[in-house]
Amino acid sequence: MPLSEKKLIQQIRRSVHGGESVVAGIGDDCAVLRVPAGHELLVTTDFSIERVHFRRDWHRPETVGRRCLTRGLSDIAAMGGDPRAVFLSLAVASDVSQRWVNRFLKGLLDLAEEFQVPLAGGDTAQSAGGIQADIVVVGSVPQGKAILRSGAKGGEQIYVTGELGGSAAALSQLAESSPVGAEDSRHFRPQPRLAVGRWLRQKGRASAMIDLSDGLSTDLEHICAESRVGAEIEAEAIPRANFGRRKNPVDLEFALHGGDDYELLFTSAMPIPPQVEGVRVTRIGRTTRSRGMRLIAADGKVKRLKAAGWEHFKKN
């Protein structure tokens, strides 16, 4: 990396804008943030680690930067919150080009600009190998209004935004050494669903919510565990991403267990329109008072649904 730490920080500092929540941003020992009166703070942190979350030969640097921030913004969306400031801790090995870092930062800062969230600080270091980025997003939500994973009751409907499985299908194709076309690589540029999350919170429509980062089956299990309910999912109802030259829906397995979609999964006792803030919303099943997750196949057969999404440290 040709630039020194100091130069890189100066460069980052020049390319960021302040925001109404940032009293003091990059350049001091701490950022000073202003929180709206009557709001509570939301804080989330997410790693993006080379060869764990991305590969330099599979993902463009802009995509890695964009997805790095998406992971954080999506967590804020899942609480029904508003993002206020972003912090980036970046460790880069000495053999990574300055160009890669610049393009990574561009991807990240373009998304920050899109959602009007200022980069207000971070840390920069040389890594012992590869690239590690940790993103921190600070958000806020009116007091007591955060949408938790624990609020679902039995007998509610389960909804999901957008389409699932596109990112996993693209990864699987790359793993088979086939390149992914431009149209399909868009699955690596998910859209954080902040507007939908905010709408659900303002209207009080969601009883529990989570963002889909590890896969539907695994993330649904988190809602079930925290809310102490079970779930029945209708396989046919799951909105699957279209993939490949023929734009066929991805395999059900990708939609059920594939990660990195960053859509919202939520429960509600109230009806939800098929489109919220321009985003498709689909009912995929219901919660049950009896625990456990079940999948209802197209032929009506019911089988157990196992959480089989992404999990670190899983031995297999």
Kindly list the residues in this chain that would bind ligand ADP in the complex (CB under 6 A): 9, 12, 26-29, 88, 90, 119, 121-124
Say which entry of Mg ion, ligand ADP, none residue 129 contacts (CB below 5 to 8 A, set by partner kind).
none
Say which entry of ligand ADP, Mg ion, none residue 88 contacts (CB below 5 to 8 A, set by partner kind).
ligand ADP
Of the candidates 167, 154, 273, the residue with the CA atom closest to the CA atom of residue 224:
154
Say which entry of Mg ion, ligand ADP, none residue 299 contacts (CB below 5 to 8 A, set by partner kind).
none
Residue 50 region, left (φ>0) first, then alpha (ψ -120 to 50), else beta? beta
CB of 2 to ligand ADP, least distance (A): 16
Vertex 148: Cα angle to 145 and 154 (nearest 5): 115
Vertex 315: Cα angle to 313 and 316 (nearest 5): 135
Say which entry of Mg ion, ligand ADP, none residue 33 contacts (CB below 5 to 8 A, set by partner kind).
none
Of 20, 123, 183, 311, the one binding Mg ion by CB under 5 A: 123
- Residues 63 and 186: their CA atoms lie apart, in Å, by 9
Of the candidates 43, 46, 47, the residue with the CA atom closest to the CA atom of residue 31:
43
Say which entry of Mg ion, ligand ADP, none residue 12 contacts (CB below 5 to 8 A, set by partner kind).
ligand ADP
Q: What DSSP string runs through 112-179? A: HHHTT--EEEEEEEE-SSSEEEEEEEEEEEETT----GGG--TT-EEEEES-BSHHHHHHHHHHTT--
Distance, CA of 178 to chain centre: 26
Say which entry of Mg ion, ligand ADP, none residue 122 contacts (CB below 5 to 8 A, set by partner kind).
ligand ADP
Instruction: Choose the stretch contacting Mg ion; rule: CB under 5 A; options: 95-103, 119-127, 229-237, 258-266.
Output: 119-127
Question: Of 85 and 206, which CB lies nearer to Mg ion in the complex structure?
Answer: 85
CB of 270 to ligand ADP, least distance (A): 41
Q: Which two tokens stand for residue 54?
A: 């991305």
Question: Of 68 and 90, which CB lies nearer to ligand ADP in the complex structure?
Answer: 90
Question: Of 18 and 154, which CB lies nearer to ligand ADP in the complex structure?
Answer: 18
Question: Of 9 and 279, which CB lies nearer to Mg ion in the complex structure?
Answer: 9
CB of 123 to Mg ion, least distance (A): 4
Say which entry of Mg ion, ligand ADP, none residue 114 contacts (CB below 5 to 8 A, set by partner kind).
none
Question: Of 29 and 57, which CB lies nearer to Mg ion in the complex structure?
Answer: 29
Question: Of 12 and 307, which CB lies nearer to ligand ADP in the complex structure?
Answer: 12
Distance, CA of 16 to chain centre: 22
Say which entry of ligand ADP, Mg ion, none residue 90 contacts (CB below 5 to 8 A, set by partner kind).
ligand ADP
CB of 109 to Mg ion, least distance (A): 19
Of the candidates 135, 146, 307, the residue with the CA atom closest to the CA atom of residue 233:
307
Reported as type and span, the H/E element at residue 298 is none
Question: Of 134 and 261, which CB lies nearer to ligand ADP in the complex structure?
Answer: 134
DSSP state of 204: T
Question: Of 123 and 183, which CB lies nearer to Mg ion in the complex structure?
Answer: 123
- Residues 107 and 189: their CA atoms lie apart, in Å, by 10
Is residue 5 a contact residue for Mg ion (CB under 5 A)? no
Applying CB under 5 A, the site for Mg ion has a residue count of: 1
HSE-CB at 283 with a 13 A cutoff on CA atoms is 12
Residues that bind Mg ion (CB under 5 A): 123
